[in-house]
Chains A and B, each alone.
Chain A
Amino acid sequence: MSFKWKRLGENSLFLLPSIILTAALGIYPLLWMLRYMFYDYAGYGEALFVGLDNFSRLMRDGLFWESVGNTFVFAGGKLLLTLPLSLLLAVILNGKLRGGKLLRGIYFMPTVISTAVISVVFYTIFNSYNGMVNSLLMKLHLVSQPIDWLGPKHAMLTVILVAVWGAVGNYMLLFLAGLQSIPQDLYESAAIDGANAGRRFLHITLPMLAPVAQMVMMLAIIASLKGYESIMVITEGGPIGKTEVMYLYLYKLLFPVSTGSPVAQQIGYGSAVGFASAVIVGAITGLYFFLSRKMNKVY
């Protein structure tokens, strides 16, 4: 009997910190949100039960749905550029390359800098009236007129580029880790068979990397759907809402960015938006999982 109790005690001792923290700061906030999405609550005073009002408002809230669309564009653009680029870098750096370590260090550097801080730098770099990017392009005679990088036409492209800049090093590293776990003898025997680099990549690297790549892509998808810090600093979601993404829209409902005039917090509606956003991200992640399930089967 004492053995059983001892075991239980040990299990609890080891698990409780995790369980308590997760319950109090992970699950409780979710339940809190699930409650308040049925209320009209401004963050002070009484919360008014309004049933499904917040959801009917959500349905007709054009701004939110626009932000959902923007989120897809942003995440899609970021992934399309980041993943191939980081995989390519990882594959190259995985070979024996002079200066490889230095390059690896360089590519990794953006990930050690705070997004919020470097985004201010990007704002000054991309300014159309005095930004470095434009003056360089004009000096090189690549363009004759300054490009309005942060204007309605290009702002989304700009924030995507900034996001890619910050993410490539990270995913390169994860891919690299996956690559290094592939047994070298596979390559050696393939080389003896006379397979060239391209074919070795297609027939050994890719399939062997698939399980790792599945996880990495999953992380990348979630991160790109969730990210909004850099956008918040660079454009605040503007101009005219062109870079407003889901989670930034939510953040603004809770912490209105406008400094001059107070806008009331909308916690009830914000909860509904948070819930909807979570469902959207969950659906995409689930879909991805379903579609990519074959990747996990290594041969």
Chain B
Amino acid sequence: MATSLRCFLRSGKRAGLVAAQRGFSRSSAAAVQVNVRDALNQAMDEELERDERVFLLGEEVAQYDGAYKVSRGLWKKYGDKRIIDTPISEMGFAGIAVGAAMAGLRPICEFMTFNFSMQAIDQVINSAAKTYYMSAGLQPVPIVFRGPNGASAGVAAQHSQCFAAWYAHCPGLKVVSPWNSEDARGLLKAAIRDDNPVVFLENELMYGVPFEMSEESLSKNFTIPIGKAKVERQGAHVTLVSHSRFVGLCLDAAAVLAKEGVDCEVINLRTIRPLDVECIEGSVMKTNHLVTVEGGWPQFGVGAEICARIMEGPAFNYLDSPVTRVTGVDIPMPYAKILEDHSLPQVKDIIFSVKKTLNV
């Protein structure tokens, strides 16, 4: 019962909310249910309180409480100076945010979705990412760019793109991609405290999903180190590596495969750049098989990078079969539900790929 409930939660289905409403009993004295949205909200609230230089800007972040309500209550608490509504001018306000970071502030720049960050990408790459290098260490840019990334539900081609690979390609940027509430809270606090530009990729479908959080993870100084992955499930036969919402799908697939005697190790990357290759290598050297799972397109993507890095390192000799990448289909996102469902990895695709990789 507890296992299946945990599966529900991990899979990121809204059924998790039902579990919460059933008065889910705490497994430890201090465990509490917090959804990803609230975890992000609390993290920002605490960091705004802790450091006066931190401020949030973006479209609808203040008086509307956030397009997805992630910044709910913050404007009421901190006012116009710290929580700033911008016009629809991404290139402009991203540049303004970077400038503010250069002059001593610590902005959180929200893109309503990362699709709109494309309009501002020059500021993210050329003005934020490269400046510390170009100035030989004179000019840091302590900024966080955050917002929902990847596919939602039925939002069609221009609103469904995953930007993990795009941003992770660039030296000078850190790129993080949380999955659950603990990730969201710990990584956002770490990102805000980091003196470098951090691209923080959230996921709209995860906002409303509740997860258990330990007392430790709810403490004010809880941060998760950027650049370290987490093994969510130990296993012996195959390593599944994923980030964001698809970690949940991997855990669901692992649960099904366990019944068939296939024991999966599931790694939650947490950070895309810098990639925790050692964690993946250590796992592959144990399991001898690797399957990567992501929502983004296959070409030049996160899975492609993992394949290359494994080949370049010691783990290659431990592989019993080539690495398998499970990815989004290599097409713009269609609108019709049946087509959209078939454009992204489903649990059955992961199960299929694991079996093919293991040749079972």
Chains A and B come from one and the same complex: no
- Interface residues of A, Cβ cutoff 8 Å to B: none
